[in-house]
Amino acid sequence: MTVGLFGGSFNPPHDGHRLVAEIALRTLGLDQLWWMVTPGNPLKSKRALAPLADRIALSERLLPHPKVRVTAFEQTLGSSYTAQVLALIKRRYPSVDFVWIMGADNLVSFHRWQNWEKIAMTFPIAVIDRPGSTLSFLSSRMARTFDYARIDENDAGQLARMPAPAWTFIHGPRSSLSSTQIRKENGG
């Protein structure tokens, strides 16, 4: 089985997130996508963070798809650090082929994530294009460090079955929506 792991604050979830999930499902040929709503991002302020239950409910309504499972299991782990969560997932589900899914807007700052190199060594990564971030795969520290492990996006359907490190940048339709902008427009 192949499973995409799509994590984030989703504060709030929006059509841009749905587009990333749909592109990942289609391009990567996933059996499932686990939409992982984090209790809080260590690199972001928790002051404007909506309650976890609200973000889960909004995520479920945004993409009711038989292959998508919205989860907040990070909360039960007591960690919001991606490297720790992925290591646990790898131990719990050794027979599943996983791929980490992230928007290209996160690629620029990925090197600031705790143990970011360990993340890249745990599961293959699919980076989905986002407006203003198309060239980040050329200049980001992650892209430069793991340049040797980049595969052509035409081979993205095989990514989940590849050993890490392996990653690809997937071009396609992009949404300019941003959770930060939505919160600003709504006075949050």
> DSSP letter at 114?
T
**Which CATH code of 3.40.710.10, 3.60.15.10, 3.30.1360.170, 3.40.50.620 fits the domain covering 2-185?**
3.40.50.620
List, for residues 136-181, the tens digit of each pLDDT value.
667 789 999 999 999 999 999 999 999 999 999 998 754 454 444 5
List, for residues 91-111, the tens digit of each pLDDT value.
999 999 999 999 888 888 899
What pairs with residue 99 in β-bridges?
4
pTM: 0.87
What's the angle, vertex CA 35, arms to CA 32 and CA 41, rounded to 5?
150
- Residue 155 burial (CB < 10 Å; 0-12/13-18/19+)? exposed
